Amino acid sequence: MSRVVCLFFILVASKAFAQGPIPVKLNGKVIAEMSDLEGIYVINLKTEKATITEKSGYFSISAVVGDILMFSVVQFKELRIVLTQKHFENDFLFVKMEPIMNVLKEVVVRRGYDNINAVSLGIIPKGQKSYTEAERKLYTATDLNASASLSGMAGGSVSADPLLNFISGRTGMLKKTIGSGEKRVLFKTTGATV
């Protein structure tokens, strides 16, 4: 009988010592120089449990002293914190994260893609007449476009812009610009600006 009692006490004692600390809900807030802190992963590396921060950076996760919390998201540097008793004494665990800054040393803008233009991309058909800037402005100022007026309301109303441009003298000014021989073409079928 004494062996059975001894075995019973050994099993009970080993069970009591095998239980570790009980996980506690740890509340925290991520602080950073950005306003949107939603979607930052907070991972307890020992228990492999995870949560995601809310929009203002608040989170809560189960942890005990000695656990390691990893904070990870694309726009911030990864951060790992080993939890101590001090972290659990406060109401909140405040975690400051640093954004990742990608500083470019040099930006090169290349030119010389003469074969890429509106015709080769199929935006405009080949051989379409190209207008000068002055011709486009005159067309816009004198067009009686019904779709441009009052959201295309029924009743056949037209835009008042041509009448106002005629009264103000803008139409005449634009006609003189075309007649003066201004040949600054902004868009030709080759795609080049002259």
Is the predicted pLDDT of residue 110 greater than 80, yes or no? Answer: no
Tens digit of each residue's pLDDT (9 = 90 or more) over 180-191: 655 544 444 444
In a domain? residue 67: yes
In a domain? residue 132: yes
Tens digit of each residue's pLDDT (9 = 90 or more) over 71-86: 999 888 999 999 998 9
Q: Where does a domain end: 77, 96, 115?
A: 96
Question: Are 95 and 81 spatial neighbours (Cβ–Cβ below 8 Å)?
Answer: yes
Task: Assess whether 132 and 90 both reside in one domain.
Answer: no
User: Hey, CA dihedral for 177, 178, 184, 185, is it positive or negative?
Assistant: positive
Q: Where does a domain end: 40, 74, 96?
A: 96
Q: Which residue has the tokens 């570790």?
A: 20
Question: Are 62 and 26 spatial neighbours (Cβ–Cβ below 8 Å)?
Answer: yes
Task: Assess whether 87 and 141 both reside in one domain.
Answer: no
Report the largest interatomic distance among the alpha carbons of the chain, rounded to a whole angstrom. 121
Tens digit of each residue's pLDDT (9 = 90 or more) over 33-48: 877 889 999 999 999 9
Number of domains making up the chain: 2
Task: Assess whether 82 and 29 both reside in one domain.
Answer: yes
Using alpha carbons only, what angle is made at residue 102 by residues 100 and 108, rounded to the nearest 5 degrees? 170
What proportion of the chain, given as a percentage, has pLDDT over 70?
75
In a domain? residue 11: no
Using alpha carbons only, what angle is made at residue 47 by residues 79 and 75, rounded to the nearest 5 degrees? 25
Is the predicted pLDDT of residue 194 greater than 50, yes or no? Answer: no
Separation of alpha carbons 171 and 162, rounded Å: 8
The mean per-residue pLDDT over the stretch 141-151 comes to 64
Separation of alpha carbons 184 and 137, rounded Å: 13
Residue range of the domain that includes 149:
126-194
In a domain? residue 54: yes
Task: Assess whether 81 and 130 both reside in one domain.
Answer: no
Q: What is the pLDDT of residue 15?
A: 60
CATH code, 41: 2.60.40.4130
- Look at residues 19, 72, 69, 76 and name the one whose alpha carbon lies nearest to residue 46: 69
Task: Assess whether 33 and 88 both reside in one domain.
Answer: yes
The mean per-residue pLDDT over the stretch 137-152 comes to 68
In a domain? residue 103: no
In a domain? residue 109: no
